[in-house]
Amino acid sequence: MTEDVTDYRVQAEGVEKAFGENKVLKGVSFSVARGTATTIIGPSGSGKTTLLRALAALDVPDAGVIRVGDQEIDFAKPVAKDKLRAYRAQSGFVFQGHNLFPHKTVLENITEGPVIVQKRPKAEAEADALALLEQVGLAAKRDQYPFELSGGQQQRVGIARALALKPKVVLFDEPTSALDPELVGEVLSVIRDLAVEGWTLVIVTHEIQFAKQVSDQVLFTDQGIILEQGPPAAVIGDPQEERTQQFLNRILNPL
C-alpha cells in the first residue's frame, strides 16, 4: 500500500467479502484520517456492517489490503495468527446489541480486555475504567450488573469498554438501533463528545441528522460498493448519485 503524507488511521484498498455465493463487499477502498469521524450510511443489505466487521477482522476479508493503526494486512494472502491478533488490537468495537458479560459488573466488563488481553496491571486498568465511566456519565454504576441498566446505559458501558483498550480507531455498528427512541440521544451525545475530543471514529448509522452533524466524511454504500463519499455537506446536503438521492429522500421525508 502506498504511504500518504497525511496520518491515516485506516486505509482500505480493494476489500472484498462474500458469504457463499453472496458477494457483500466488491472492492471497497477508502481512508480515514486520524482524529476524524467517518459515518457509513446506506440501505439495509448494502454491506455497511460487513465493511465495519472487515475493518476489525471480525469477518476476515477474502481480499484487499487494510491498514489500521500501525498494522497492515493483505487479506488475499494467508495471515498468521499473531499478525491477525496484533491487527485486531488496533481497533475497539462497539456492538449493536451491547455484548456485555451478564455475570460481570460494569467495572469488570470494562477492565476485562485490558487485564486479560493486554496484560495491564489491574489497578491501572481499574483507574482508567473509572475515568471512562466518569466520562460517559456512569461513575455511580460501577458495581452494577448489565441487567440493572437501561439499554442506553449498557451501550455507554460498551463504549467505555472499547475506549479502555486505547485503540487507534473506534468502530460503531449502528450503536442506537437496539435502543428505545428516548435513549438514543444519550448515546449519540457521548459519541459526539468523542469526535470533539479527537478520537478516530468509524460509525455505521441510520441516524442521518447525527451523521450530518458529527461527520468529517460520509460514505454511502449500496450493493457492496461505496457509491458516494465526501463531507456531509456534499453527500447528505447535495448528493450527486440518483441512488443516494432516493435513499436520503426516503429517510428524511417519510410519508
Confidence of residue 70 (pLDDT cuts 50, 70, 90): very high
Which domains are seen in the chain, by residue range? Answer: 8-90+167-252 (3.40.50.300), 103-166 (no CATH)
Sign of dihedral through CA atoms 210, 213, 217, 220? positive
Specify the DSSP class assigned to residue 188: H
Residue 66 has phi, psi (to 5 degrees) of -130, 135
Arithmetic mean of pLDDT, 3-30: 89
Residue 255 has a pLDDT of: 63
Residue ranges with strand state E in the chain: 8-19, 22-33, 37-41, 63-68, 71-74, 91-94, 169-173, 201-204, 217-222, 225-230
Residue 1 has a pLDDT of: 52
Specify the DSSP class assigned to residue 168: S
- Whether the per-residue pLDDT at 5 is higher than 50: the answer is no
Confidence of residue 3 (pLDDT cuts 50, 70, 90): very low
What's the rounded Cα separation, in Å, for the pair 224 and 50? 9
What's the rounded Cα separation, in Å, for the pair 234 and 246? 15
End-to-end CA distance of the chain: 46
Q: 231-242, pLDDT tens digit by residue?
A: 999 999 999 999
Q: 75-129, pLDDT tens digit by residue?
A: 999 999 999 999 999 999 999 887 899 999 999 999 999 999 899 999 999 999 9
Residue 68 has a pLDDT of: 96
Residue 177 has a pLDDT of: 86
Residue with the bigger pLDDT between 254 and 39: it is 39
Arithmetic mean of pLDDT, 133-137: 94
Residues with Cβ within 8 Å of 167's Cβ and at least 6 positions away in sequence, in order, are 69, 89, 90, 91, 92
Confidence of residue 183 (pLDDT cuts 50, 70, 90): confident
186-190, 196-200, 249-253: range with lowest mean pLDDT:
249-253
Confidence of residue 182 (pLDDT cuts 50, 70, 90): confident
Q: 141-152, pLDDT tens digit by residue?
A: 999 999 999 999
**Pairing relation of β-strands 71-74 and 169-173?**
unpaired
Residue 152 has phi, psi (to 5 degrees) of -65, -40
Residue 10 has a pLDDT of: 96
Residues with Cβ within 8 Å of 197's Cβ and at least 6 positions away in sequence, in order, are none
Residue 6 has a pLDDT of: 56
Arithmetic mean of pLDDT, 32-58: 95
Q: 192-244, pLDDT tens digit by residue?
A: 999 999 999 999 999 999 999 999 999 999 999 999 999 999 999 999 999 99
> 74 and 83 in contact (C-beta within 8 Å)?
no
To the nearest whole number, what is the mean pLDDT of the chain?
93
